[in-house]
Structure 1
Amino acid sequence: MPAPTRLRFPAAAAAAAALLASCSSGSAAEDPGGTAPGPGAIAEAERLYQIVNDSRATTDELTDIEQRVAKRCMEDEGFTVHYPPYFQESAFGTYGAAGYLTDAPVRAVPTPEAAEQWGFGVWTEFTYVDEDAAAELLTPEARIAFNLPDLPTGPPDTSEWDAESDAYQADWIKAYTGAPAITSDLKGPEPDTTAPPGGCWLAMVETIYGEPYMIESDGESYPATHRPSPASTVEDFEDTGELSARLDGEIADFDACLAESGHEGWELGDDLYPPLWQYFGGMYDPAYFEEYGDEEGIEVPDLPDDAPADFAGVLDLERAMAVDFAACGQETGLRQAVEEGWAAMLVDAFAPIEADMTAWQEEMQAHLDAAQDYLQE
């Protein structure tokens, strides 16, 4: 049985670290500096987020064309069976279909419609409990809402590669990387990751980009095929503390509404996500939580005495509770405040690099066009 995945909000397309320095704490009614929350911020956030999504799609196109050019080089060298991990499909473009709210902390404050259909989405972390029921629930709309693109899972199929001899694999690795393979009785031939770039990989890079792009990290440098999208410089931010500080008034009202609705002991918290994963997870997969508990030691409200023992029953309970949370989100204005506040933060993060993102896409499109011309020769 697979272990459940701890529910966390993805980091990509959130606000930048620079935002933390530019925004001060305060309630939603105060102006913390930067973009003001409101409908205008939402429209601008959607526009900027589309540029981010376009850059992800461009990255997928670059990966595809790189692999095609590299394979041509290898096939010109006489190799027809390739090492699958080096030629996996890129799927960055599938991320973020829900728009600028893709990474926003709205799971605990769903819309009424989403709450009725999908609850909080905790069940998406426990689909293995009832795969048939989960398959029916995971509609295209649900996958977009919870950022769960329908992609192949598991490692790539290496059966054809594994059927080749060690000599073929070693020769392939040398032709692709430019360096002799490292041999091992246990693992077979492997690439020498410390060797300088060469072989068909370097030939591919020179064909498309002219030369490798060197990335500096922790005092070391390593080669990449091209300059990453400027959007990547602000995609590592996942702290919701600043947004929580902006919304302290609405959050207090929301917590009070929950108590009045019969959900005493539940509070939204600074990360805008109470322990819903632990609470419902303890019902979806009690065996896992009995054995491992919650390693983070988070205090969780007691489970109901008549807690359901099947996936459908727990889902009904999740939906009912989510409907109450959604109602409080509407009554207190918290849902709207989160949407508008998140939009303002996203604008502050991406607006300063908009020109660079656009220039990057134009630069990469020129590389794509040149690679297409090469492949048509």
Structure 2
Amino acid sequence: MRTFLLRLPVLLALAATAAACTGAEDGESKTIDDESQLLEVVNENRRLEAELAESERRLVEDCLDEQGFTVHDELELLTRWYVAEQEALVEDYPSNFLPDPEVAAEWGFGQWVYSDEGWASGAGDEFNDIVGADIPALDLDNSAFNDLAVAEKQDWYAAYAGEEYAASIGGFSAPAGEDEAAGGSDDGSIVIDPDLQEAVAPGGCLLEMIDALYGEAEPVAATGEAVGTVWSWGPRSPQEEADWDALRESYRVAVIEPETAFLDCVTAGGWGDWEFDRAGSLPISAHFNQIYYPDSEITVVEDGLVVDPGSVPEPPADLPGDLEGQKAYEIGMAEAFLDCAETTGYREDAEAAFRQVQLDLFLSTDEELFAYQDELRAAIANAQEVVKG
């Protein structure tokens, strides 16, 4: 399934979309027996999704080219249609608020680099290069589109997905000397309105592609961390309709003891009274926002919703006021958290529990998963015919 949000396209990570045969002939039983086998299935589906995505993107770009738009927002197109194979069945854990030891020793939780002083020093770029080296967008050259005038960018977005979409993603800033009435940042980038929740219907070349391949787009309730309504088209993975709330609850039940032991260790070390959120993570950023942005309102987000920040510990009263002292505090906390995670076995137990509940979920929907793969292959065949004209 492809989704369409009113804000910048969000790459909805398909944590696992499994559908493949493990060697059986047509008509015979198809089974997936273990995690390694399921990972092979996941990546087969990823390859199919990538093939279908390439056809969708090709049709949209051809449509734009025909209208004279030969310079594209490559980041926008990458975000919507990028599909990559997975190195592991689960790549993002609730326990990922814990940094790697080598990162903790130099960067702490990586929060100080986003302070005004830390960012001005260039630490933010260096940190992002270290922790985000595998993000494909970092290697993408979008300079040609960035150099376009504000009006040209707005026209491209309107042709790409409709006037309503172009308006909903926010204003643009103009380069020096140009009209800045549209608002926006000072670098020509899109400004996102955080209050927007409902997606606009796709239009422009995006709608032409949808009409050609799927007939129509369907409004559906958003899942996961997205909020409101999104528009979907194409084969819909059964994983997107899974009961993720139940999965999360199963995980939290499985980690009650290691979470409790970890928090007891943290409290005993003098690092404050913390509480895990519904997803099994800690509000690390909210805690350090109190330090690096003391005049800002504390915001804690769970599942896309702002919740009561009462569970965020306050910084110590004797915390130094300079960045070096605050950075030392952050590094000390990060290393103490890692020590507690190791001595209590929290990280190992939490990751094992999260893998298991996801594996149990994926293995319980064999028939739906195999049907999804058939749908992908049929959609690819149809898309290739449309592309050929």
The answer as to whether partners of 1:105 and 1:272 remain within 8 angstroms in 2 is: yes
Match of 2:369 in 1: 354
In the other structure, the counterpart of 1:328 is 340
CA contact (8 A) 1:109 1:326 kept: yes
Q: Per-residue deviation at 1:89? A: 0.8
Which of the pair has the greater relative contact order for Cα pairs under 8 Å at 6+ separation? 1
Aligned 8 A contact 1:58 1:364 in 2: no
Report if aligned partners of 1:51, 1:358 keep a CA contact under 8 Å in 2: no
1:260 correspondence with 2:249 = no
Tell me how far 1:94 sits from its aligned partner: 6.4
- Comparing 310-319 with 240-249, which one deviates more in the overlay? 310-319
Alpha-carbon contact 1:67-1:87 (below 8 Å) kept = no
AA aligned to 2:108 is G
Q: Contact 1:255 / 1:266 at 8 angstroms: preserved in 2?
A: yes
User: Counterparts of 2:52 and 2:89 in 1: how far apart (Å)?
Assistant: 19
Residue among 302, 312, 316 paired with 1:300: 312
Task: Note closer, same or farther for the CA distance 1:121–1:13 as it changes in structure 2 (3 Å cut).
Answer: farther
Q: Is the 8 A contact 2:109 2:331 kept in 1?
A: yes
Amino acid of the residue matched to residue 284 of structure 2? L
Unmatched 5+ stretches in structure 2: 1-10, 18-32, 163-180, 183-198, 222-228, 301-307
1:310-360: CA deviation from partner (whole Å, max 9, x where unpaired): 555534432321221112212222111111111112223333243234334
| 8 Å CA contact 1:69, 1:204 repeated in 2 | no
- Code of the residue aligned with 1:277 in structure 2: it is S
Please report how far the alpha carbon of residue 224 of structure 1 lies from its aligned counterpart in structure 2 after TM superposition.
6.1
Kindly name which structure, 1 or 2, has the bigger radius of gyration based on alpha carbons. Answer: 1
Instruction: Provide the residue aligned with 1:183 in structure 2.
Output: none
Tell me if structure 2 keeps the 8 A contact 1:15–1:234: no
My pick for the range that moved more, 306-315 or 326-335, is 306-315
Structure 2 match to 1:244: 252
Alignment of 1:133 onto 2:123: yes
Paired position in structure 2 for 1:35 = none
CA offsets 1:209-257 (integer angstroms, 9 cap, x no match)? 3x51452547xx9986633444443497697443121111112221222
**Contact 2:263-2:273 at 8 Å conserved across structures:** no
1:276-287 alignment runs, 5 A limit: 276-287=284-295
Verify the 8 A CA contact 1:215 1:223 in the aligned structure 2.
yes
* Kept in 1: contact 2:258–2:344 (CA 8 A): yes
CA pair 163-51 structure 1, distance change in 2 beyond 3 A:
closer
Q: Is residue 103 from structure 1 mapped to residue 92 from structure 2 by the alignment?
A: yes
- The answer to whether structure 1 residue 274 and structure 2 residue 282 are counterparts is yes
For 1:30-41, list aligned pairs within 5 A. Answer: none
Q: CA deviation at 1:108?
A: 3.6
For 1:236 and 1:125, locate their aligned partners in 2 and report how far apart those are by CA, in whole Å: 32
Partner of 1:6: none
Query: Aligned partner of 1:339: which letter?
Result: E
2:63 matches 1:70: yes
Relative to structure 1, the CA distance from residue 372 to residue 278 in structure 2 (aligned partners, 3 Å threshold; closer, same or farther) is same
* Contact 1:51 1:357 (8 Å CA) reproduced: no
TM-score, normalised with respect to structure 2: 0.59
* Unmatched runs of 5 consecutive residues or more in structure 1: 1-9, 17-39, 178-185, 188-192
Query: What amino acid is aligned across from residue 124 of structure 2 in structure 1?
Result: A
Whether the aligned pair in 2 keeps the contact of 1:254 and 1:329 (CA below 8 Å) is: yes
For 1:238 and 1:158, the matched residues in 2 are separated by: 47
**CA distance in structure 1 between the aligned counterparts of 2:106 and 2:132, rounded to whole angstroms:** 13
What are the within-5 Å matches in structure 2 for residues 17-32 of structure 1? none
Secondary structure of residue in 2 paired with 1:298: helix
Answer whether contact 2:113 2:123 (CA < 8 A) is retained. no
Q: Is the 8 A contact 2:101 2:338 kept in 1?
A: yes
Q: 1:337 to 1:56 in 2, by over 3 A?
A: farther
Relative distance call for 1:89 and 1:278 in structure 2 (3 A) is: same
Q: 3-state SS of the aligned residue for 2:265?
A: helix
What is the CA distance between 1:117 and its match in structure 2? 5.0
Shift, 1:136, TM fit: 0.7
Q: How many aligned residue pairs are there? A: 307
Provide TM-score, normalisation by structure 1. Answer: 0.61
